[in-house]
């Protein structure tokens, strides 16, 4: 895996996954893998630049009972914030 695409701890119960430069299905696969490797109380921030992934990942996560918030960081870069949907706050 390329440097920067590993799961990074960025705070207490907060992790980041940078999958910029990757195309489907890898951002989704790595996001789901990351969610399996962090505690249920944790929030995951996924940075990506693949428009199809931005469209496809949120419905898959919502189906798995995650709360999802997508925001635009700049032209062509998005951040998806993910947390289990119980008492969710995706700030």
The pLDDT of residue 1: 46
Q: Active site residue: 5, 7, 24, 47, which one?
A: 24
Mean per-residue pLDDT, 20-38:
96
Q: Is 24 a catalytic residue?
A: yes
Domain assignment present for 2:
no
For the chain, the average pLDDT equals 91
59-83 pLDDT, tens per residue? Answer: 999 999 999 999 999 999 999 999 9
Domain assignment present for 35:
yes
Largest CA distance in the chain: 34
The domain in which residue 41 lies consists of: 7-84
The C-alpha atoms of residue 53 and residue 39 are separated, in whole angstroms, by: 24
Q: Helices 26-36 & 51-63, crossing angle to 10 degrees?
A: 40
The pLDDT of residue 15: 97
The C-alpha atoms of residue 63 and residue 74 are separated, in whole angstroms, by: 27
DSSP bridge pairs for 87: none
CATH number at residue 67: 3.30.110.40
């Amino acid at each position: 895996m390329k440097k920067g695409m590993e799961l990074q701890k960025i705070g207490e119960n907060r992790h980041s996954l940078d999958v910029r430069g990757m195309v489907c299905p890898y951002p989704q696969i790595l996001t789901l893998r990351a969610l399996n490797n962090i505690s249920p109380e944790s929030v995951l921030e996924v940075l990506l630049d693949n428009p199809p992934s931005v469209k496809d990942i949120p419905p898959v996560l919502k189906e798995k009972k995650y709360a999802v918030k997508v925001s635009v960081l700049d032209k062509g870069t998005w951040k998806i914030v993910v947390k289990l949907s119980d008492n969710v706050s995706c700030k």
